[in-house]
Structure 1
Amino acid sequence: MDNQTRIDRVTRFIETLNQARGLGLTVTDAGEGELTLCLPYSRQIIGNPDTGVIHGGAITTLMDTASGSVILCALEEFELCPTLDLRVDYMRPAQPGEPVYARAQTYRITKNIIFTRCEAFQAGGETVANCVATFMRIGKEAMPRQFRERIMGEGQ
Structure 2
Amino acid sequence: MPDDLDDEAAGFRATGPGPDAWRTALNRFVAVIPHTRELGLEVVSVTPPNVTMRLPWRDELLGDTTRGLVHGGVLTMLLDTVCGSAVLCSLPAPEVCPTLDLRVDHYRPALARLPIMARARVLRVTESIVFTEGILWQEPERPIARGTGNFVRLGSRNTPPGFGEALFSGVDDHAG
Q: Deviations over 1:58-89 (max 9, x none)?
A: 11101100010111221231111000000000
What aligned pairs does 1:17-96 form with structure 2 within 5 A after superposition?
17-96=33-112
Q: Secondary structure at the match of 1:84?
A: strand
Q: Deviations over 1:74-124 (max 9, x none)?
A: 123111100000000000001221101110000100010000000011133
Give TM-score, length-normalised by structure 2. Answer: 0.83
Letter in 2 for 1:75: L
Residue in 1 that maps onto 2:141: 125
1:11/1:26 contact within 8 Å kept: yes
Residue in 2 that maps onto 1:102: 118
Q: Secondary structure at the match of 2:139?
A: coil
Identity %: 35
Looking at secondary structure, tell me which structure has more helix per residue: 1
Aligned residue pair count:
156
* Higher RCO, Cα 8 Å, sep 6+: 2
Uncovered stretches (5+) of structure 1, i.e. residues with no partner: none
Residue in 2 that maps onto 1:7: 23
Uncovered stretches (5+) of structure 2, i.e. residues with no partner: 1-16
- RMSD of the TM alignment (CA)? 1.7
Structure 1 segments (4+ residues) deviating >3 Å? none
After superposition, the Cα gap between the structure-2 partners of 1:132 and 1:71, relative to the gap in structure 1 and judged at 3 Å, is same
